[in-house]
Amino acid sequence: MAVSYGLLSTHPPTRCGLAAFNASLAQQLTAAPRSGGIVRVTATGDDPHPGPGVVHTWPAGSVAGWLGAAAALNAFDVAVVQHEFGIYPGADGGDILPLLRRLTVPSIVVLHTVLSTPTPGQRELLGAIAGTAGAVVTMTGTARARLLHGYAVDPGKVMVIPHGSAAHADRPAPSRGLPQLLTWGLLGPGKGVEWALRAVALLQDLDPPLRFTVAGQTHPKVLARHGEAYRAGLHRLGAQLGVAHAVDYRPGYLDEQALGSLIRSADVVVLPYDSTEQVTSGVLTEAVAAGVPVVATAFPHAVELLHDGRGLLVPHRNPAALATAIRRVLTDPAMATRLDRPRPAAVRWPAVAAQYETLAAGLLAAPPDDHARVARPAGSRT
């Protein structure tokens, strides 16, 4: 009998990394012969239209909205819950905990953020979430190790399943002219684009000259609180540095085909993030999967994913180091060839979703009273 999946998360038309992740996973888990639906969490200012596949909406401002969301998830065989602090109502998003306790079906909680220095409330909440869930997924070994070291979590419940990627590597790259540097994703403070602009200023002697594309809209939460101040600051900085002519801002939303074409046109993807906490990056996953050389600051996911030589790591907030690494990729053919290697099919979404199905099957096979303790599937990381 085919399994049905209920997925709880932000979801399109909301535009954020969590929503994009959930949409890609849902596309795989709810395709025939499987079935399922989305329980969408919305924040103030989100497009209220539910979109395809949404069976229930949990408005972030609603009182006890978790009750209706839990009832909607209980209509399916397995609940898959995306978690980041602040996505759900309550202190630190704490309303997710009564929802999980209300579920009568097995649950898989996917952790997108595992803080190394959480507040006491965050530590207690995440420990309780992990204790209530049937299984917990992290997307990197770093996140799993951090979770087990810093939180009260049963190691037997935690499985590593990588972030999925689209098949961008299957699309031929357009013919290249000027060297292309690319970063993309929702824009806001912490993205580190200002450091990349300073690096571009140090690379103006390149012949032919470098072209830097910054693709993506301003993050909706940043837009609501600060408007376009960050983007305007980048434009001013580029003008001050004398590199405005070399930077192409593309603030529009890119669908999968347009994004794939843009990624494959890049000679280098640069991820100059400020955060030292980021254990998951969908942008990094897509870039590496497409086989495009990456230059990134040493945030945890980059350290783990680029350890085999698929990219270069640089210190945070160091434009000189960024420029040196970018120059190496663009001017050393041997370096570019070594870095330009697509990731295996195991990180494509169908293969990633198959791991969730295996995990769900283990939960469903367990006695009903044991759904909060699932044996680790074969081949999972310890």
Integer angstrom CA distances of residue 35 from 10, 27, 78:
19, 10, 11
Q: How many other C-beta atoms can be found within 10 angstroms of the C-beta atom of residue 350?
A: 12
Using CA atoms, how far apart are residues 357 and 250, in angstroms rounded to an integer?
Answer: 37
pTM equals: 0.89
Residue whose entry in the numeric block shows the structure tokens 């580190």: 192
Domain 168-339 has CATH 3.40.50.2000: yes
Q: How many other C-beta atoms can be found within 10 angstroms of the C-beta atom of residue 365?
A: 11
> In sequence order, what DSSP letters do the residues of 282-303 get, joined into one string?
HHHHHHHHTT--EEEE--HHHH
* Matching fold, domains 4-164+348-370 and 168-339: yes
Of 193, 184, 191, 156, the residue nearest 376 (C-alpha): 156
Domain boundaries, the chain: 4-164+348-370, 168-339
Q: Please provide the CATH number assigned to the domain covering 4-164+348-370.
A: 3.40.50.2000
* Tokens encoding 186: 């929702």
- pLDDT tens for each residue of the chain, 382 residues long: 799 999 999 999 998 889 999 999 999 999 999 999 999 999 888 888 888 999 999 997 788 999 999 999 999 999 999 999 989 999 999 999 999 999 999 999 999 999 999 999 999 999 999 999 999 999 999 999 999 999 989 999 999 999 999 865 444 454 557 999 999 999 999 999 999 999 999 999 999 999 999 999 998 889 989 999 999 999 999 999 999 999 999 998 787 888 888 998 999 999 999 999 999 999 999 998 888 999 999 999 999 999 878 899 999 999 999 999 999 999 988 877 777 665 666 789 999 999 999 999 999 998 776 655 443 443 343 3
Integer angstrom CA distances of residue 349 from 81, 116, 353, 378:
17, 28, 6, 20
Using CA atoms, how far apart are residues 135 and 143, in angstroms rounded to an integer?
Answer: 15
